[in-house]
Structure 1
Amino acid sequence: MAKVPNLVECQPRFVAYCKAHGLREGDEWQTWEYMAWISKKAAEFRKLHGLWRWDSFYKLGADGHKQFTRFLKTEA
């Protein structure tokens, strides 16, 4: 198991995962759980925006990935 590092130094999608699961610095987490969560959220986001399962977020424009990151922050 990995331990949550200082969240100030982490990328925003991982921070959103930690907030959604109540994880704090030093808590243990599993990589596969993060991967499953992010995949589930990506599927929700695609459905919300009318994208097919494997469509790129860039179909939403140049800021498609930023939109997904904002979505994760609101879900956390």
Structure 2
Amino acid sequence: MPGHVGQALGKTLLDKAKARHDVLQLWVFQRNHRAISFYRRNGFHEVRKTDGSSNAEKMPDMLMAWRSPGPPGG
């Protein structure tokens, strides 16, 4: 919600998910530059882009993924 942007709520929730999983994947619309920047800042990378023909909104989207760095030296 716009009134809550910049209060670290998204990062807090994302950190909780990262603590529970070794790999996270999510879809984001390509035009949502703010979300893409947020996920990149938090270690996600682009896996693939689509033209949107297979989603309900018919909007180009992107699959992004994060992988835990694992234990040191591992």
TM-score, normalising length: structure 2: 0.26
- Structure with larger RCO (C-alpha < 8 A, sep 6+): 1
Q: Which has the higher strand share?
A: 2
Structure number with the higher helix fraction is 1
Normalised by the size of structure 1, how large is the TM-score? 0.25
Q: Looking at CA atoms only, which structure, 1 or 2, has the larger radius of gyration? A: 2
